[in-house]
Amino acid sequence: MIRAGILALGIAALSTAAFAVEPDEVLSDPVLEDRARAISANVRCVVCQNEPIDSSNAGVARDLRVLIRERLVAGDTDQEIYDFLVLRYGDFVLFKPPFKPSTYALWLSPFAILLIGGVAVAVSLSRRPRKPASKDTHLSAEEETDLAKLMKEDTSL
């Protein structure tokens, strides 16, 4: 009983975030509608900023959804629609920033850090002795003298 209640609450909590796309916006052509949904999931709402326009209730987000659908019906490609939006709102509206000189640092720095880490690991591994110590490994003459000296000093043993 309690479990069912929790489940119902959970479902209710999830459903509040669901579709902002209103029925009157939906296109009759399911292929175009799917493309519209895919595009609007990639476009940031400029009012709420961390929400795609697909799930935003802001007025501008709705306008943009309607506009994307109009352009799809008019025969625009997905790229043309993205270009149209970027021209007006900048790269910021795309959740996935484009790969260009001003974003090289953004895209490449993770790989650079990985490379630095990899080099550091490789260097520290190569400095270690190749073989781990075993019964057959012997101390060097220098180490033997050091050891003898220590043993002599510590008489409690």
Partner 1 sequence: MKRLLFALPLLLALIIGGFAIWGLSGGRDPSALPSVLISQPVPQLDLGPVEGVATPGFTTDDLVEMDGIKLLNVFASWCGPCRAEHPNLTRLGAEEGLTLIGVNYKDKPEAAAKWLDELGNPYAAIGSDFSGRAGIDLGISGVPETFIIDAEGVIRHRFAGPVVGDGLRRFMEALDEVRQ
Q: Report how far residue 104's alpha carbon sits from residue 108's, in angstroms, rounded to the nearest whole number.
A: 6
Select the span of 31-39, 60-68, 115-123, 136-144 touching partner 1 (CB under 8 A): 60-68
Binding of partner 1 by 117 (CB under 8 A): no
Q: Which is nearer to partner 1, 70 or 144 (CB)?
A: 70
Sites for partner 1 among residues 69-108 (CB under 8 A): 86-90, 92
Say which residues have a Cβ less than 8 Å from residue 54's Cβ, sequence separation at least 6: 19, 20, 21, 37, 40, 41, 43, 65
Write the interaction track for partner 1 spanning residues 20-59; mark x where CB under 8 A is met and - where it is not.
Answer: --------------------------xx-x---------x
Report the b/e string of 92-118 with b at 16+ CB within 10 A: ebeeeeeeeeeeeeeeeeeeeeeeeee
Kindly list the residues in this chain that would bind partner 1 in the complex (CB under 8 A).
Answer: 46-47, 49, 59-60, 63-64, 67, 86-90, 92
